[in-house]
Chain A
Amino acid sequence: MKNPLDSIAGTIISGLVLTVILAVIANALI
């Protein structure tokens, strides 16, 4: 499998997915 971080698009998508995950966690912690 290709590393998503090898492309700029894959890097941005990884960041956006992480953003959603962290937002859900933050809302659960507040």
Chain B
Amino acid sequence: MENEWVPLIARWIHFLAGITWIGLLYYFNLVQAPAMAAANADHSGPGGAGIAKYVLPRALFWFRWAALVTWIAGAALLGPSFVSAFTLQGYDVIIGIGSWLGTIMLLFVWGVIWPNQKKVLGLKPATDAEKATARRVAFLTSRVNTALSIPMLLFMGASAHGMALFG
């Protein structure tokens, strides 16, 4: 009974949290960053202060916690394959590469993006120059995560449906 329910629930949570995480990542990269650049360049418009004040903190809240929940559910889903995945053994190399990419992305979220965004949001004291640097570092790390998400999603999917590529 437990052996059937745990992987199902873990996969369900993994998908729900993963969609929330990567959906917000794509929102930041495809929508918010270009929108903020356009808003800042449009001197006769309302500017991007409203997005920074009301949207960004909420988006970052769901983004960083969804990232953590995704990883925990993914680790539960790996179950007994956890070690062989992360040590790239046999066919577990496929889910293992996906798992490593997801893990690196999680570490970038909590170790780089969030600490820098705290300076941008004013939750951590920073000068204007430090804020500008923090904004650039967070932006580039977010772009790196977007690039990493492309192979990550292929390898996650290929672990169950990858015979065309890894048969």
- Mark A residues whose CB is within 8 Å of B: 3, 5-6, 8, 11-12, 14-16, 18-19, 22-23, 25-27, 29-30
Interface of chain B, main secondary structure: helix
Given A3-B140, A30-B90, A30-B166, do A15 and B29 touch, yes or no (CB 8 Å)? no
Interface of chain A, main secondary structure: helix
Distance from B54 Cβ to chain A, minimum over Cβ atoms (Å): 24
B147 within 8 A of partner (CB):
yes
Given A5-B143, A23-B165, do A29 and B151 touch, yes or no (CB 8 Å)? no
Given A5-B144, A11-B29, A14-B147, do A27 and B155 touch, yes or no (CB 8 Å)? no
List the A side residues contacting B12 at CB < 8 Å. Answer: none
The answer to whether B155 touches A22, judged by C-beta atoms less than 8 angstroms apart, is yes
User: Cα distance A13–B30 when bound, in Å?
Assistant: 15
Q: Which residues B102-153 have CB closer than 8 A to chain A? A: 140, 143-144, 146-151
Find the B residue at minimum CB distance from A18.
B151
The answer to whether A19 touches B93, judged by C-beta atoms less than 8 angstroms apart, is no
List the A side residues contacting B149 at CB < 8 Å. Answer: 15
A26's partner among B97, B140, B143, B144 (CB-CB below 8 A) is: B97
Interface string of B13-51 (1 = CB under 8 A from A): 000000000000000011000100000000000000000
B62 within 8 A of partner (CB):
no
Find the B residue at minimum CB distance from A16.
B150
Distance from A30 Cβ to chain B, minimum over Cβ atoms (Å): 6
The answer to whether A15 touches B93, judged by C-beta atoms less than 8 angstroms apart, is no
Q: Offer 27 A-B interface pairs, CB within 8 angstroms, sorted by A.
A: A3-B140, A5-B143, A5-B147, A8-B29, A8-B30, A8-B34, A11-B143, A12-B147, A14-B147, A15-B147, A15-B148, A15-B149, A15-B150, A18-B147, A18-B148, A18-B151, A22-B151, A23-B151, A23-B165, A23-B166, A26-B93, A29-B88, A29-B93, A30-B90, A30-B91, A30-B94, A30-B166
